[in-house]
Structure 1
C-alpha cells in the first residue's frame, strides 16, 4: 500500500497545483465582455466565411441564424461548398431565398491540392472572395454553428473596444443524449485545462488557442499572418490559427459563448469517439513519447484518486483512502462550474474519472489509427500525416 499512498499523494499535489496554478482553468466566467456599441455610423464591414461539407442535416438551423444577424454595418455571408454530396450548396441557396437577410454567396473551390486540408482550402477560397469587398473583419464560423441575432454585433464591439485582432468563442455544444452529457462538458473542461482562457488573452503570453466554430479575425491581421496559407496542413486548425496570429504580434481572446451554439448532434458514443480520436494524436504531434506521457498523466491525475480510495478502503489503509478521496474531491469540485455552464446535473461530477478513461482510450485509438495509415479521417477524406503546429512563418 505504501506505493499506492505515494502515487495518491502525487495525484493530490497535482490537483492542488491545477486548482491554483493553471490559470484557474476550471472557472467559467471568461465570457464576451459587455461593451458599448460603436456610433451607428462607425460599424466596420464584415464578411462571414462558412466552409461546409455535407452539412445539409444541420444547415437549416445554422445558416438562417447568420442571415438574420442584426448588424448595423455592411455584412455578407460566403458559404463555401467543399465538395458536398448531399445538396449542401443547393439547400443554402434555397434558405437564402426563403429567409432573406444578409446577402449570401455560395461557391465551391474544387478538391484541395496536396498539402491542404479540405476545410482550410474552402476557407482560403472564401477569404479570397471576401477580399474583393474590402472588409475590416472576417467571421470564420462552421456550418453547424447557430448565432443569436446580436452575435456579430457583440463580437465586433468586443474586438474594437478591447483592441483584439482576434476574438473567438467556444460555442456551447449540444448536450442531450446520455453520452453527450458524459463526454461533451468534459471535452471543453479538458480543452480549458490545456489552454487556460485567462492566459490566452494576455499580451505577450505564449498560450494561444481558438475555437474554430466562431472566430472574428481582423482582415489585415489575417493577411499579415498569411491565413490560411501558413496553416494549410493543420488538422487542429483553430489552435494553429491562434498561434499564427499571436506569433505575428496579434492580440487574441477566447472565452465561453452564451449566444453561440453548435447544433450538431453526437447521440452515440461512436460519434463522440470519432470526433475526439480523429485529431487526438495530431495534438500530440504524432510523438510516441508524448503519447506515453499523456497516458501516464491521465492515469495519475484522473484514474489514481478513485483507485487509491477503493484500494485504501479494501486494504484498511487510511492514508491511501484519505489521500485518494481528497484528490477525487478536488477534481470533482473543479468540474462543477462546467456542469453548471452546460446546465447538467451535478451528480455527473464524480464520474469525471470514467470520462477521462474514455478520453485516454480515444487518444490511444487515435495513435493506433495513425500507425495503420488511416490518419485523421473526416467526411470521406483521410489526412495521413497532419501537422498540428505550422513551422513556417
Structure 2
C-alpha cells in the first residue's frame, strides 16, 4: 500500500511539473510570437491632412440610450470637421425617449446636422443593431458620402477625432480605420475586469497583425472595435455591409472580416481621444456584457469551447496553482516554471494597466480575472443550449442558421 501511494505521489509530481513547464512555454510563445499583443503603442497613425476633405455620414444605432446620450451625442455634433458631415441617429425601438432626447440635444447646440429615424422591428435573421445600421446607411447613401463613421450611442469623441480618422484613412490607404474606445474604469469590478477585457481581445486579435504596423505586412487576422469604425462607403457596398453580416452578434469583427474578404485594408488600434461613457458598476453588468457574445465568438462549437477552457486553464490558472503546489511539496521543478510564467503574465499586463491608469499591483491578479472570464464563457454556452442565446436589451438572438456568413 505504501509503495502504491509513493508511486501515485511520483506520478502526481511529474504531472504538475510537466504542466507547469507547458504553461511557461506557452507564455514564452505568447510573449514573442503573438504579434506583441501586450504592447499598447498601436495608436492612430500620424496623418497628413488631405487637400480636399471628403464627405462623411455618421451612423449611430441607439436602443434605450437616454442615460448615456447626453454625454456622447453632443461630442459628435461638435466635431470640428472641415468637409461636409452629418449625423444619422437610428432609434432602434427605444422605450425611454432616446429619439426625442437626441432631437432636444441637437436643438441646444450648433454643430453637425442631425437626422433621427426609426427602422421598426428587425426582421428574422437580423440583429437589432445591424438592422438600425442598415437603415442609417441607406439614408446616408442618399448623400453620396465617401466615408461612413459607424459609432455607438455611448461613445464620446474628441472634437478633432473625425478629421484625424479621415486623415489616417487617406494617408494610409485604409478601407477601415477603427479605434477601440477607452472603456470606463471606476468601480472595483471595472478595475478588475475591463483592462483584462481589452488585453484578452488584443491577444485574440493582435493589432499589429491586423493593420500591418511596424513595416510588416498585414495578415488575414481581422477585427474592428464597433464603437468607432470609419469605413469607405464604396468598400461597404462591395462587402455588402451590413447585409452580409446581418445576424452577427460580434458585428465589429464580422465587419472587418467582410472588408478583408473583398481585399480591403483594415487598421485597428487603441484610442487616446475616444471614450465609452457606459458604466458597468457591478459584476453582474460586466458578466452580462461578456457572456452575451462569448459563445458566439467560439462559433457555437462545443469542441472549440472545450479547447478554450483548457487553454485558459493552462495559460492563466496553472502558473499560480503550480507555485502553490510546488511550494507546498518542495517541488522546485514545478515551482520555478510556474513562477516564471506568472511573472511573464503579470509583466505583459502592466502596459494595459498603465493605459487605463490603474495601479500596477493589479497585474498579479490576472489569473483571478481570467477565471471569471472562463466562467462567463461557460455560462454563455449554457445560456445558448438553454435556448436563451445572446440576450441584450430585451432581445435574444439564437444561433444563426448560416454561421459562414459571419466569416
TM-score w.r.t. structure 1 length? 0.98
Whether 2:269 is the aligned partner of 1:255: answer yes
* Whole-angstrom distance in 2 between the partners of 1:142 and 1:196: 23
In structure 2, the residue matched to 1:3 is 15
- The 1:346–1:387 alpha-carbon spacing in structure 2 relative to 1, beyond 3 Å, is farther
Q: Does 1:187 align with 2:197?
A: yes
Long gaps (5+) in structure 1: none
2:4 match: none
**Offset of residue 321 of structure 1:** 1.0
Establish whether residue 292 from structure 1 lines up as the match of residue 302 from structure 2.
no
Q: Separation in 2 of the partners of 1:2 and 1:334?
A: 28
Equivalent residues of 1:332, 1:352 under 8 A apart? yes
**Deviation of the 1:253 alpha carbon:** 0.3
Unaligned runs of 5+ in 2: 1-12
2:329 corresponding residue in structure 1: 315
Distance (whole Å) between structure 2 residues aligned to residue 51 and residue 386 of structure 1: 21
Give the alignment of 1:1-393 within 5 angstroms.
Answer: 1-39=13-51, 42-202=52-212, 205-386=219-400, 390-391=404-405
Name the CA distance, whole Å, in 2 between partners of 1:392 and 1:62: 29
Per-residue displacement from partner, 1:136-164 (whole Å, max 9, x unpaired)?
A: 00000000000000000000000000000
Cα displacement (A) at 1:37: 1.5
Report the CA distance between 1:36 and its aligned residue.
2.1
Aligned-pair distance for 1:386?
4.0
SS in 1 for 2:67: helix
Q: 1:204 to 1:350 in 2, by over 3 A?
A: closer
* Distance of 1:390 and 1:292 partners within structure 2: 21
- What is the distance in 1 between the residues matched to 2:46 and 2:266? 17
**Cα distance in 1 between the residues matched to 2:368 and 2:94:** 37
Distance 1:166 1:286 in 2: 27
TM-score of the pair, normalised by structure 2? 0.95
Equivalent residues, number: 391
Partners of 1:278 and 1:377 within 8 A in 2? yes
CA distance in 2, matches of 1:250, 1:190: 25
Q: Distance in 1 between matches of 2:295 and 2:259?
A: 23
Q: How big is the alpha-carbon RMSD for the aligned residues of Structure 1 and Structure 2?
A: 1.1
Asked if the contact 2:226/2:251 (under 8 Å) is kept, the reply is yes
SS in 2 for 1:257: strand
2:169 and 2:384 map into 1 onto residues whose CA distance is 39
Provide the rounded CA distance (Å) in 2 between the counterparts of 1:7 and 1:235: 35
2:323/2:335 contact within 8 Å kept: yes
Deviation at 1:387, TM superposition (A): 7.2
Deviation, 1:259, is 0.2
Distance 2:89 2:400 in 1: 25
Over 3 Å counting, the alpha-carbon distance change for 1:177 and 1:204 in structure 2 is: closer
Change (3 A) 1:390 1:121: farther
- Give secondary structure in 1 for the equivalent of 2:351: helix
Deviation at 1:172, TM superposition (A): 0.3
CA positional deviation for 1:390 = 4.1
Q: 2:405 is paired with a residue of what secondary structure?
A: coil
